[in-house]
Each structure stands twice: as C-alpha cells, then as structure tokens.
Amino acid sequence: MASLEELYREVILDHYRSPRNRRVLERSNAGADGSNPLCGDEVRVDLLIEAGVITDIGVTGHGCSISQASGSMMGDAVKAKALDEVCRLTDRFKGMMSIEGAADPGLDPERPGAVLGDLEALQGVRKFPVRIKCADLPWTTLEEALGIYESG
C-alpha cells in the first residue's frame, strides 16, 4: 500500500509533468515575475481580473518540481475565486507551509470541512526548509501581482 508521502509525491510529479494553466494569457490586467535565486526558480503569473474575480490565470516559468507544481496547483486553486477568497487561501497555504502551521494543515477555518485539495501534497516540503521558498514562490508572485493591481 502506498504511503501518504508516496501519494503526495505522485501528486506533485503529476502537476510538474502536466502543469495546469501553463500559458501566456491573450488578455490580462495584472501580472508579476518572481524568482528564487537560491534554487534558480522563476515564475510568471498573469491574471485577468473581472468584477473582483480572477477569471483567468496563466502560470509560466521554469525551475524545480516543487516550484512548478506549486504554481500549477495554485492556478487551479484560485481560478474563478473572488479576490478576498484568494487572500484567505494564500494565507492558509503559507500558514500550512510554515513550521507553526504543522497542526491540522488542510482545514480552512472559514469553511469547516473544506480542504486545500492537491495543495496539501506540498506540506511534506515543510521537512526541507530550503524548499519552502520554492513552494511559496508562485503565491508570493501572485500576491505581488494583486498588490500592483490594487495600487494601480
């Protein structure tokens, strides 16, 4: 029987090999570039935001399996979500990835019973502090894109 860790590794590899939302958007109104020099990861996030909702997202870039899989999962997680919900999800994800977030990582306090889905597969990365930056990179880049959008 596959252990949870093996299962998580499969989920991460699946997103790495077949990334979701990996394209340059024809129409976008927000975006940012992020990089993690420690590992050589680069991520570009493009967003189409309409009436306070992320209606389309493109995540491109290159780097290690953790950073690219995290970007793929993030695209799936935030698409068609309202911006305030995206903020909560970002906090939730970063909380899960922090050492303090180790307890009960998958549950969203706003919606009891809700889970982070595939994103939970990344919690194993916590054991490798150097790689946490890899997993966080797409989310940090998303936050930057939203910050630019909101201030512009």
Smaller CB separation from Zn ion, 21 or 36: 36
* Backbone phi and psi for residue 94, each to the nearest 5 degrees, phi listed first: -65, -35
Q: Distances from the Cα of 26 to the Cαs of 1, 18, 56, 89, in angstroms?
A: 44, 21, 10, 26
Q: How far is the CB of 12 from Zn ion (least distance, A)?
A: 12
d(CA 59, CA 21): 6
Q: How far is the CB of 140 from Zn ion (least distance, A)?
A: 13
d(CA 66, CA 44): 15
Q: How far is the CB of 131 from Zn ion (least distance, A)?
A: 6
User: Residue 80 forms beta bridges with which residues?
Assistant: none
Smaller CB separation from Zn ion, 58 or 138: 138
Q: Which residues form the interface with Zn ion (CB under 5 A)?
A: 39, 41, 64, 67, 134
